Structures are given as structure tokens and as C-alpha cells.
Chain A
């Protein structure tokens, strides 16, 4: 066969042309949506897109969470897919700065997304450009054991004093008020976010995570002192540093703990473990400083086009499809989360409805999460400090000084 190289080349050409005729393009998508619900949601999403665009063949590579965080750096530079999922806010900053994401302002303009996805535009914008399409978000707040609260005659606390009183009743009855597992640190970041948002407000919180305020500032100290009140009153699960967030679900299911400051993704495992709508409830984190407008935490998940993608045309089609109201309704119905598109419908699950009402009436602002609002190094040092503080609150000054030192180095 080596005697007829021309024939061989022609043969290869013919076969690729045949392939080209049946598929206008191949679209490669990398995601880390490997948990059951997100996986099902993406299966449906891709099937729906393929049905509407029969000329596009989608190849979907599924990664596990932890592995994805490292592999994304490799595949964005070396072997870029056409689409990849990631997170809004500061978490996408390194890739935007390194020129690895493609700006998608045109997708937003052509499809009127500045209108329908307006609420997330801010967290998707860096340097005046929009870098991806958000498809879901979820609320944070306090998930609690409704039956325990009712048995002990505790009303849902709306302010700081009621919250502390509720905790006292619970501890008096041998129930740990709040379960938490801080082994992987970020859960402590959620508690800090809420305490700081309620003590000092959204603008201060954002200034702090952007590095504009000193960690030794008296307003941060005020937040930490509020936290210390809870710690001293025995609010948090003992030995929480030994547990992951999933392990910390167990005391709540068993009735040894009554509350969990968490994101809405905790509902699914709690229900799987046997809690129902009658025994599990949700309330907004109570007011601490009544002069501060209520701000909430609601991390947004997004999809981006890598700058090195081969099939950007179809990738943009996919983003436009993903942004559509009916598609977001469907995907979030499976995910058990909230759609970004304002014309989408929110599932009739009671936690989703509660979250939707809370977030759509939020006046104070919506934070992403401590490790998405603050740059990576600050986030790590901060959350490590919070974990230490929760076990050794007497070290507060030392911890804040250490964080201030990190701040001096990180934000240059």
C-alpha cells in the first residue's frame, strides 16, 4: 500500500468528508457534574440540545469534583474542550487573566441575556466583558429540624436574641444547636459569611474579601465576637474539625443536632437519610444588626468557552440554548436548584420556593461564597483561621493578625 500514497490520502480525505457531511461539528463538553442529580440534569440537557441541533454531535467528558479542579488547568491550556463548567466571581479570575476563557458578550447580546440573566451579570463580568453563561444557583441559610423545634416549643428565630435563646433551649435539652464539619474548612467560611453579612452588611463583606479592609479592623472583631458568643454557648458540634460536611449530617438526622448552616444541596442527602418535609425546615439566617439590609449567599454555577476551543460556533449555540428559560426550568428541576433566567419557573419543592422568595426579595446584595469572593490564597488562610477560631476562640487576635499579614501579601 505504500506504493500508492496518493490513493491513501484520497481515501482519508473521502472518509473525513463523509464524516463532515453527516455532522457539521463535534462539540466537546467537560464537566464535573458527577453526582447523581447533576449528572442526570446534564444528560437531559445534552440530549435536548442534540435533538434541536441534529447536525452537532456532543462528546461529554465527565470528571469527579476534586480531580476537575486540577485537570481544568491542564485541559484549558493543552487540549481544550469547546465548553467547560466552572464558577462565577473570583474563582474564574485566574483563567480570565491568563486568557484561557473566551468572552461571550455576543451570546448575551444576541439572545437578550442581559435582560433575562440580569441578576447574574455582575458576577460574570470581569474587565467589562462577560465570560460565560450561568445556569443555576442555590440559596444558603439555616436548615433545621422542625419536629425538634416544635417539641421544645421553639419558634423560628428571626433575630440574634431569639437565635441565642433557641440555642439555649436546645442545649438545655441535650441537643447541639448547630451541626458542622470543618475538616475541609469551607463550611466554616459559610458561617463567617453570614455572621459578617449580618453584622456589617454586604458592602463591608465585599470590601473585606476584595482586600480593601484590614482583618484587624474593629468591625471584623465585632463579627468574630458575635461568633464567639455562639461558640462559648456551645452552639457548634463538638470535634467538628474531625468531620466532613457529609459526616456532620448524621447528628442532625439522628436528632442530636437541630440546625445546619448550609447550602440547598444538603436537602437531598438529608431527605435520603430519612428526613421529610415535615421534619426538615428552612429559615433565613436571623438578623444581627437591624440597621444592615439583609444580604444572602447564593453561589452561581456557570459554563464557559475556553479560548482554545475548536468549535466555538456550536459552543455559542449551546450557551444560547442553556440560557433559555424553558431549558433552565428543566435543568434546575432535576438539579433541585434555582434557575438564573427570570422567565424560568421554579420547582414547587418547598425549599426551592423558600429560597426563591428569599433571594428575589433580597435588598442587601448576593454574595457568591467566601472562597469565590476572596482570592484563593486569602480564602484558604481565612477558612483555616475560622476553623482554628471555632476550636480556640481565645486565639482571635493572633488569628486576625495572621490573616492581616496574608492580606498584605495577597493583594498587591
Chain B
């Protein structure tokens, strides 16, 4: 034993240090993924016996209007949620100056990310309220018709995304603010001497240095868009008639909702959502791997 340990110490030590992390990760992430896949082949109400139904849940999914609505909404979320990145960059550039009290302004802009998504959802529900909401009071005073954003199938998803962009912009802003701290002043100085300013300075000198921040911002925004659940649940409960559902919400509804408890079907949705996320996760891992190797 003693000699084996001495011989292989170098090789074993990292694994020993990794062991607690690996165990946790396996227990709470890896194993549940396979459990979900397994459950998705059964019909199960979470209480009684499971019945093996093979691919039936997936076949049903392919013929389920609600699934396609959720999928479509997820795509809209993914695309529009990206607006948080330029918006966050803009706010960060705006706040990246040394004025008296700037810290207070920074905190105020960061505030929406700190408060709970539930509160964000409620605030925006009132903002959109068809009879006393600020939005419709403003619209009507300009002579437009009131829009019941959250009760209108064409507007509802955009309305919720707008609410989601508020905290997400704050998140991206913080990422860029820290990124801007790391921007090399000498390079800026050098660029100034070469007469670079304005947008050109931003595009050719500042942005390339912010690349790591942009990368993280994209990743958290993509994941944020895919797991957009709380806002949908608070603001519309998936309605009107299910037109604001996203996959994460539909999965919850089917598996744990008041009228759900179809664990197998919910698990099948979870697997599909996982596969979509997997595209981004692999891209992310691939890039990390490449960057590490490049060093």
C-alpha cells in the first residue's frame, strides 16, 4: 500500500481532491439526467406503478400543439433575450465614468437583478394591466387603443420577454463593468494618439478586450432564456390558453402542475429541453477546451 501510494501519488492526488466535487456533480446532475431519460419511457403519475410505454411520450410530443407553441416561444426568447447584451454594454459604457456618486447609480441600475423574478413579474403585470397599467394609460393618452398585453396571444410572449430583459440587462451590465475595469489604459492611450475615437475606438480597441465578458454574457443569457420559467408562471401562468408557454414551464405543468402529474411526459419534455441546451453547453465546453489548449 505504502509503496503504491508513493509511486502513484502524483497521479492519484488530483482525483482525490476532485472526488467530493465529482460525487456531488454525479449525484445531483449526471445521475438525474439519466433518471429523467429513463422516466420519459414510462407512463407514471408519480404515485402508483410505472408502465413502460417506450417512445410513446415522444410520439405524443411530436403531435402536441402545445409543445410546438412552447418550442416557438423558446426560439423567440432565445433571439430577443440577446438584446440584453448590447443593452448591458451600453449601460456599462454609460456608467463607466468617475462622477460623484457613480456607485449609487451603478447600484440602482443593478437593482433589478437583485430583486426576485417574482417581484419583477408582478411589477410588469401591473405595468401592463389593461385598465390601470402605466403602459395603457400612456398609450391611451397618445390616442392609441389599449393593448391587454398579457391577455393577447400575439403580444404576450414579447411582453414577458421585455420584463425578463430588465434584470438580464443589469446582469450583462455588471459583467461588462468588471470587464471594462480590466481594459488596458495604455492601449486606449495608444489608440488616442493614433486619433481613434467614438465608435471606432469602441469597435476596434475596447470590444476585443471585452471578449471574455461578452462570451460569459452570451452564455448566461442563452441559459437564462432557456430556463425562463418564473416570469411565465407569475405573469400569465402560461396563458392566455397556453400561448405564452415555454418548454421549461410546459415541463413543470405536465409533471408537477395542478392538473399534471404525468411524470413520463414531463420527463420527455425535459429531455428535449436538455438536448437543446446541450448544443450550447457543448459549444461552450468546446470553446473552453480550445482556449485552454491554445495557452
Show the binding face of A for B, using Cβ within 8 Å: 66, 69-70, 73, 76-77, 94-95, 97-100, 182-185, 238-242, 371, 376-377, 379-380, 384-385, 387-388, 391, 402, 409
Contacts and interface: CB of A to CB of B under 8 A. Distances in A.
Contacts of B199: none
A379 B148 CA distance: 26
Interface residues of B, number: 26
15 contacts: A76-B47, A94-B45, A94-B261, A99-B48, A182-B239, A183-B239, A238-B130, A238-B148, A239-B151, A242-B148, A242-B150, A377-B259, A380-B260, A391-B151, A391-B240
Contact of B258 (A69, A387, A409): A69
Given A100-B47, A239-B151, A241-B148, A380 B259 contact: yes
Contacts of A391: 151, 240-241
B179 interface: no
Contacts of A77: 47
B47 A98 contact: yes
B150, B237, B241 — most chain A CB neighbours (10 Å)? B241
B256 A70 contact: yes
Given A97-B48, A240-B151, A384-B239, 15 more contacts: A73-B47, A73-B261, A76-B47, A95-B47, A182-B239, A185-B239, A238-B130, A239-B148, A241-B148, A241-B150, A241-B239, A242-B148, A380-B257, A387-B239, A388-B240
Contacts of B230: none
Contacts of B261: 73, 94, 376
A97 B131 CA distance: 46
Contacts of A97: 48
Interface of B: 45-48, 60, 65, 128-131, 148, 150-151, 236-237, 239-242, 256-262
Contact of B236 (A66, A183, A388): A183
Contacts of A66: 258
Nearest to B49: A98
B269 to A, nearest CB: 15
A409 B65 CA distance: 14
A377 B64 CA distance: 14
A138 to B, nearest CB: 20
Contacts of B236: 183
B65 A402 contact: yes
Contacts of A380: 257-260
B76 to A, nearest CB: 20
Nearest to A379: B259
A380 B241 CA distance: 10
- By secondary structure, the B interface counts as loop
Nearest to B254: A377
Nearest 8 A/B pairs, CB to CB? A380-B259, A241-B151, A388-B241, A242-B151, A239-B148, A241-B240, A98-B47, A376-B259
Nearest to A377: B259
Contacts of B237: 183-184
Nearest to A399: B241
A182 B237 CA distance: 11
Given A239-B130, A241-B151, A371-B259, A94 B47 contact: yes
B60 to A, nearest CB: 7
A376 B47 contact: no
Contact of B242 (A70, A73, A98, A384): A384
Nearest to B253: A380
Contacts of A385: 241
Contact of B46 (A73, A183, A238, A371): A73
A66 B148 CA distance: 26
A21 to B, nearest CB: 38
Given A94-B45, A184-B237, A409-B60, A376 B151 contact: no
Nearest to A186: B258
A186 B241 CA distance: 12
Contacts of A185: 239
A24 to B, nearest CB: 32
A69 B151 CA distance: 26
A46 B94 CA distance: 62
A226 to B, nearest CB: 20
A185 B259 CA distance: 12
A98 B45 contact: yes
B130 A242 contact: yes
B159 to A, nearest CB: 10
A56 B260 CA distance: 37
Nearest to B243: A388
Contacts of B258: 66, 69, 376, 380
A117 B151 CA distance: 43
Most buried by A among B45, B60, B239, B261: B239
A94 B65 CA distance: 26
A66 to B, nearest CB: 8
A238 B129 CA distance: 12
Contacts of B47: 73, 76-77, 94-95, 98, 100
A99 B75 CA distance: 42
B237 to A, nearest CB: 6
Most buried by A among B148, B260, B262: B148
A338 B90 CA distance: 62
A391 B153 CA distance: 10
B241 A387 contact: yes
A317 B164 CA distance: 53
A227 to B, nearest CB: 15
Contact of B48 (A98, A242, A384): A98
